Amino acid sequence: MPHVLPPLAYDYAALEPHIDEQTMKLHHDLHHQAYVDGLNGAEEKLAKMRETGDFSAVQAVQRALAFHGSGHANHCIFWENMGPNGGGTPAGDLGARIQRDFGSFDAFQAHFSAAAATVEGNGWGILAWDSSAGQLIVLASMNHQNQGLHGSVPLLMLDVWEHAYYLKYQNKRPAYIKAWWNVVNWENVAERFAGATSM
């Protein structure tokens, strides 16, 4: 079955003034759709290769699969990680775990913000559950998939590709990151944490 673009659970303008309506519309409807299309295209090509037995182009298509597949997966998490009436700090088990693994929420937030702000070119800031070590970690991913950690489960993802902020923030990525904390849906992050730690 081909992959499909999931609809946003809130209006394009729901994250104003922190993330503007036009950016959300372009980002969701065009950019994310392109990753869905790229993923479907790669899977079709791989199916064809298995049918014909001709794997001469497999290296490039595996690369496309990882890029577009990660682009699709990351954005699905990113949209759900945000919402109107977001922000604040996480309570419960997630809040306690952040305190344990990073020292404090403020230390975590500073670490995550710095990691995301300094990604070279396009990428993501990520809070993940490292299932092999049993701890929360911050990752700074390049493109959609590089510098990941296999076995980690992303819980909170911040898109720092220029398409995520350039219309409103131009080259001021740190200002976008600072504003983004106001739209984080911690309930969604806590649900992901509960799911990841019960696996």
Contact set with Mn ion (CB under 5 A) = 159, 161
State the residue number with the nearest CB to Mn ion.
159
Q: Distance between CA 29 and CA 34 in Å, rounded?
A: 9
- Return the bridge partners of 127, or none: 138, 156
Least separation in angstroms between residue 83's CB and Mn ion is 17
Q: Which C-beta is closer to Mn ion: that of 80 or that of 130?
A: 80
Q: Which C-beta is closer to Mn ion: that of 83 or that of 123?
A: 123
Least separation in angstroms between residue 74's CB and Mn ion is 7
Question: Could you tell me how far CA 7 lies from the centroid of its own chain?
Answer: 16
Q: Which C-beta is closer to Mn ion: that of 35 or that of 108?
A: 35
Question: How many other CB atoms are found less than 10 A from the CB of residue 38?
Answer: 18
Cα angle value 175/127/101 (rounded, 5°): 115
Q: Which C-beta is closer to Mn ion: that of 75 or that of 97?
A: 75
Least separation in angstroms between residue 32's CB and Mn ion is 7
Count CA atoms within 13 Å of residue 156 on its CB side. 28
Least separation in angstroms between residue 115's CB and Mn ion is 17
Among positive and negative, which fits the CA dihedral 143, 147, 153, 159?
negative
Amino acid at 68: H
Q: Distance between CA 23 and CA 18 in Å, rounded?
A: 11
Q: Which C-beta is closer to Mn ion: that of 32 or that of 97?
A: 32
Least separation in angstroms between residue 104's CB and Mn ion is 29
- Does residue 17 sit in helix, strand or coil? coil
Q: Which C-beta is closer to Mn ion: that of 161 or that of 186?
A: 161
- Does residue 128 sit in helix, strand or coil? strand
List the strands of the sheet with 123-130, edge to edge. Answer: 135-142, 123-130, 152-159
Least separation in angstroms between residue 84's CB and Mn ion is 20
